[in-house]
Amino acid sequence: MLYQTELVNLDDLVIREHSYRGFKEVFDYRDVIPKLRKIEKEEYYKGYGAYRLFKCCLLQFLEDLSDRQMERFIRENNAAKWFCDFGLTDKTPDHTVLCRFRKRLGSKVLSEIFVCLRDQRGSASSDE
């Protein structure tokens, strides 16, 4: 069997017109990180980090996937890996990690995050 090695940039594998690119550019996710640090201090989440897991949950919501479906989706989909800041060969979270993270995140922190993101869009549209 013949094996070939190539250097590949994950960004190049996601087409410029992909909807995830637009969604990723809409918000400044740096405003979300301090809110996620509240829960990250208490849990290590198997090295994935609260920020990447939050982006997984966001994508899971956008695609309307169950935890098990999301586990497979992010493992097999390069655009999903790119959106959630995983590399091509990075180990991605399984369904139990996603479920535990979402429970730990809770509705209060999630609400704070969505208010933060909503306020960004409100200020961006008033700037135009």
| Tens digit of each residue's pLDDT (9 = 90 or more) over 42-52 | 565 668 888 89
3-state secondary structure of 97: helix
pTM of the model: 0.80
Per-residue pLDDT reduced to its tens digit, 90-117 = 999 999 999 999 888 888 888 888 888 7
Segments in 64-94 forming alpha helices (H): 67-76, 78-83
